[in-house]
């Protein structure tokens, strides 16, 4: 992501005092990265827009608590991540998505982590075009997408992901491994095409 996320201190100070123009300037500065993160995790634009709105409502309410330690984007991103993960937890209907995904990758998937060890002549194949990876990524479950995006793109550690999700570190690690096995398999088999 090549968006500049630097914000002048004076703008943050004005936002902390409740200045609506300054708060709008913060919104304009961070609406795209917040929306992008939420969309990559949740996939549906309307859900991502709701997370965007909820995130900035929280930012406006809590900006006084921001002490200037670390980048402002890190603080806002944490709120956005929390809102996106909360939406995953709340939306029970999407549990069916995981079942769909399991069937999409084939019955041979026995859980990711041990499936490669012991196989002869493993051939990962060349990584296909970017558009295929994007489609394959979208076919992962929301939880898997969240873990992959937070770890591989946003740079979260497994400890941070586990804390945000209310899960264990090993859950985060196994989700990431399973997700990459699925991504590789979908790309190799052309499921995403």
Partner 1 sequence: MMHCTMDDVLALAAGEGSAWARQHVAGCPACRAELEALYQRVAQLKALPVRRPARDRWPAVRNAVVAERRRRRERWGVSGLAAAAVLAGLLVFRPFWTKPVDAAELARVKEQSATLEQQLQRYDPNGRVTSGRSAALAAALEDRIAVIDGELAQLGPAQAQARPADLVTLWQQRVELMEQLVSVHVTRAAYVGL
Separation of CA 151 from chain center: 8
CB 51 within 8 A of CB 42: yes
The minimum distance between CB 106 and partner 1, in angstroms, equals: 16
The minimum distance between CB 10 and partner 1, in angstroms, equals: 20
Nearer to partner 1, 75 or 94 (CB): 75
For position 13 contacting partner 1 by CB under 8 A, the verdict is no
For position 180 contacting partner 1 by CB under 8 A, the verdict is yes
Q: How many residues bind partner 1 (CB under 8 A)?
A: 67
Interface positions with partner 1 (CB under 8 A): 1-3, 18, 20, 23-24, 27-28, 31-33, 35-36, 39-40, 45, 48-49, 52-54, 56-58, 60-65, 79, 82, 86, 112-127, 130, 133-134, 137, 148-149, 152-153, 173-174, 176-178, 180-181, 183-184
């Amino acid at each position: 992501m090549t968006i500049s996320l630097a914000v002048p201190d004076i703008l943050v100070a004005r936002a902390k005092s409740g200045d609506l123009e300054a708060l709008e300037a913060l919104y304009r500065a961070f609406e795209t990265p917040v929306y992008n993160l939420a969309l990559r995790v949740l996939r549906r634009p309307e859900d991502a827009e709701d997370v965007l709105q909820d995130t900035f409502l929280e930012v406006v309410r809590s900006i006084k608590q921001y002490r200037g330690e670390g980048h402002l984007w890190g603080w806002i991103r944490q709120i956005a991540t929390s809102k996106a993960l909360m939406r995953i937890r709340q939306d029970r209907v999407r549990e069916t998505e995981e079942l769909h995904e399991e069937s999409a990758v084939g019955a041979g998937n026995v859980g990711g982590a041990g499936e490669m060890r012991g196989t002869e002549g493993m051939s990962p194949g060349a990584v296909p075009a970017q558009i295929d990876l994007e489609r394959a990524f979208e076919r992962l479950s929301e939880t898997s997408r969240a873990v992959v995006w937070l770890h591989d793109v946003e740079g979260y550690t497994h400890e941070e992901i586990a804390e945000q999700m209310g899960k264990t570190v090993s859950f985060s690690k196994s989700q990431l491994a399973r997700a990459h096995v699925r991504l590789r398999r979908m790309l190799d088999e052309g499921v995403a095409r």
